[in-house]
Homo-oligomer: A and B are copies of this chain.
């Protein structure tokens, strides 16, 4: 992270902030993390950044556009995190795939503010095509991984990889949403979300005829 100017929040500044857009995005992230996407207010973000309540309107049309931007960054970081975990399928597809699932849950847990903005803030995807594309790119990592995994199967018995990717995504998202965050009120579990997802994935893949589990079983 870098601020071109005035990195301290209480350091005096001139009439112009110099990096307000960035400061607002960070403020939004903190506030969403602290009080949920609903508890986040435009005015408070402005206060946090040390500017008047009207200043943010120079950078974002309204509150929703700010959240959209947070979500956009979230998808970008999400994509990066997933891609890093997948690591092009090294050392082998199954091991990497397992890592990918864990990265999904890790993101939801360590970046709940981004995750909320991305999936729970009620942003209409159709409006912001950039946002949709960022989401698609994140999904593409999963899609690509699924394809590589399928490619290890003998031709002829290969299930449709798009459907597989959607299944894995839905399951991961479901687990993350229902059990994945330590925050406020989620349900207790007899196992960790990671174990739950790993088991689901193994069973699912076995159902598709994939040879079992990651080689060294961790």
Contacts and interface: CB of A to CB of B under 8 A. Distances in A.
B170 A174 contact: yes
Interface residues of A, number: 46
The secondary structure that dominates the A interface is helix
A66 B37 CA distance: 19
Nearest to A63: B38
Contact of A204 (B123, B177, B204): B204
Given A174-B177, A185-B126, A167 B207 contact: no
Contacts of A204: 200, 203-204, 207
B171 A167 contact: yes
A153 interface: no
A178 B169 contact: yes
A168 to B, nearest CB: 9
Given A172-B174, A173-B174, A185-B125, A163 B207 contact: no
Q: Which 9 pairs of residues, A with B, have the shortest CB-CB distance?
A: A207-B207, A174-B174, A170-B174, A125-B185, A124-B185, A206-B207, A203-B207, A173-B174, A124-B184
Given A163-B190, A167-B199, A202-B207, 7 more contacts: A38-B121, A125-B187, A135-B187, A163-B199, A170-B174, A171-B171, A204-B204
Interface of A: 36-38, 119-127, 132, 135, 159, 162-163, 166-167, 169-175, 177-179, 184-187, 189-191, 196, 199-200, 202-208
